[in-house]
């Protein structure tokens, strides 16, 4: 695997369409290949086809919540090792425990620092690129 960011696939799942598309735009400017889904169920379908290295998901979504999406991805053949990032406005201990139990690796509280977010992605990809 080369070090080109464009080979790094990121899936953004958020029922807030504007937020999802804004994040997609920012990540594409950073050079990543990004797909967007606006609910957990279509996020799961996208992941099966796209095999994302990283999946960024909102937690409270209709149809399939971020928690349910995370559990489904962890059990899947295609995305069980995706780096799961929760994006949430609810920074509670209960939510934190549920995120961990669902298989999220890390979480960012909305509104989050884009710089902190892109730094996290950069260091994650450096780790997998040097494996």
Torsion of CA 80, 70, 28, 112, to 10 degrees: -140
pTM of the entire structure? 0.92
Q: Where are the domains of the chain?
A: 1-90
Q: Is the pLDDT of residue 131 over 80?
A: no
What homologous superfamily is domain 1-90 in, according to CATH? Response regulator (3.40.50.2300)
pLDDT digits (tens, 9 = 90+) for 78-129: 999 999 999 988 777 888 899 999 999 999 988 888 899 999 999 999 988 7
For residues 55 and 60, what is the distance between their CA atoms, to the nearest angstrom? 15
Partners of 84 in the β-ladder: 55
What are the C-alpha distances in Å from 116 to residues 38, 90, 110, 112?
Answer: 23, 18, 12, 8
Q: Residue 41: its pLDDT value, please?
A: 95
The H or E element spanning position 77 is none
């Amino acid at each position: 695997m080369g070090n080109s960011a464009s080979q790094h696939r990121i899936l953004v799942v958020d029922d807030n369409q504007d937020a999802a598309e804004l994040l997609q735009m920012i990540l594409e400017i950073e050079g990543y290949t990004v797909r967007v889904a606006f609910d957990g169920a279509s996020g799961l379908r996208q992941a099966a086809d796209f095999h994302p290295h990283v999946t960024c998901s909102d937690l409270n979504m209709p149809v399939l919540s971020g928690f349910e999406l995370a559990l489904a991805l962890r059990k899947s053949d295609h995305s069980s090792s995706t780096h799961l990032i929760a994006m949430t406005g609810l920074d509670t201990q209960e939510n934190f425990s549920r995120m961990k139990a669902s298989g999220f690796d890390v979480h960012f509280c909305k509104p989050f620092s884009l710089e902190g977010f892109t730094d996290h992605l950069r260091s994650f990809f450096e780790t997998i690129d040097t494996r």
